[in-house]
Amino acid sequence: MPLPPPGNSRLFTLATGLLFGLLVVHFIAVSLSVLPSNSVSRTAEPVSRVYLRPFFVQGWQLFAPDPVSGNVRVYVRGTYLSGDGDQETPWLDVLDPAMSKRRRIWPPSNNLIEQVEWEAATLLLNDLSRESGEAAAADPSVITRWADAQAKPPSLVSLESAGGMALRTAYPTLDLRQVQVGLAIQPTSDIAGVFVLDSHPGAAQEPPSGGLIVFRPVNVGR
């Protein structure tokens, strides 16, 4: 049942019109930002970008236009100080299911740390594709540029942090100095042939002999 009308019904009608006008303008700006790029959206982009940031930034690709069709693998290795000088650990597969067991994260099937690592790895591949043209053949100049902390993409920073944590979990007694991240993507049809996952929690996994993109080592504990 409608409530008694407000004192100034003209003002109410005007406010209604303004709010609905705002709703229309808002969703025009939103639509222009989510639809595939066209001449109208390109023209309106500077204005809609200012309006949408930071509260209404959209991004609903959700497996589009083409879903990721391979398993992203993140490898890390550490440099540590031992009696004979600097030594390197073997490569460790950060997204290996055995690692989650070792980290005792619950629930193991859907934990947020793994989600962050996977998201970072996928974003890093996208960043590489954008900068190098093709992720599988990463441009060495891009890798060099990303060695600078000020130019490094957030996805790589995050994987270096994740790598440091994984190495400390796997080798708690080592005096870690540096962490190095490697990234690979396996086509799904090759999974069974390339990897046989070790059942020992945290066991080192050999990365693929070719196609591993290796980033510059970074000092730990920044």
Partner 1 sequence: MNAMRWLQEGPGRLAVSLQSEHQLVGAAVLRIGLGSFLFLEILTNWSQRRALWGPKGLYPLWLFRRDLTSTIAPSILAVHSAILSDVLLAGTAAVGLLYLIGWHTRLLTFLFVIGTWSLFNRNPLALSGGEHLIRVTLPFLLLIDSGRTLSLDAIQNRVTPGAWKALFHNVGMAFIVIQLCVVYEAAGIQKLGGELWLDGSAVGRILEVEQFNRFGLGGLVYHHHLAALALTYATLAFELSFPVLVLTRKLRPLALFGAALFHVFIAVVMGLLGFAAIMLTYQAAAVGDAAYVQVFGRMRRLPMRLRGDRPAVGELALPKRIVTDD
The site for partner 1 (CB under 8 A) is made up of 1-6, 9, 12-13, 15-17, 19-20, 23, 26-27, 30-31, 34-36, 53-72, 97, 105-106, 109-113, 115-120, 123, 149-150, 154-155, 157-158, 161-162, 165, 188-189, 191, 222
Tokens standing for residue 45: 């982009």
**Smallest gap, in angstroms, from Cβ of residue 76 to partner 1?**
13
**Smallest gap, in angstroms, from Cβ of residue 166 to partner 1?**
11
DSSP-derived secondary structure letter, 57: -
**Smallest gap, in angstroms, from Cβ of residue 110 to partner 1?**
5
CA–CA dist 90, 84 (Å, integer): 17
CB 181 within 8 A of CB 154: no
CA–CA dist 98, 103 (Å, integer): 9
Tokens standing for residue 47: 């204005």
* Nearest residue (CB) to partner 1, 19 versus 47: 19
**Smallest gap, in angstroms, from Cβ of residue 99 to partner 1?**
13
CA–CA dist 209, 211 (Å, integer): 7
CB 198 within 8 A of CB 90: no
Q: Which helix (DSSP H) or strand (DSSP E) does residue 46 occupy?
A: helix 39-52
* Nearest residue (CB) to partner 1, 61 versus 82: 61
DSSP-derived secondary structure letter, 21: H
**Smallest gap, in angstroms, from Cβ of residue 85 to partner 1?**
28
Other C-beta atoms lying within 10 Å of the C-beta of residue 99: 22
Other C-beta atoms lying within 10 Å of the C-beta of residue 7: 7
* Nearest residue (CB) to partner 1, 9 versus 39: 9
* Nearest residue (CB) to partner 1, 58 versus 144: 58
**Smallest gap, in angstroms, from Cβ of residue 6 to partner 1?**
4
Among the listed residues 95, 90, 137, 139, the one whose alpha carbon sits nearest the alpha carbon of residue 114? 95
* Nearest residue (CB) to partner 1, 39 versus 109: 109
* Nearest residue (CB) to partner 1, 24 versus 136: 24
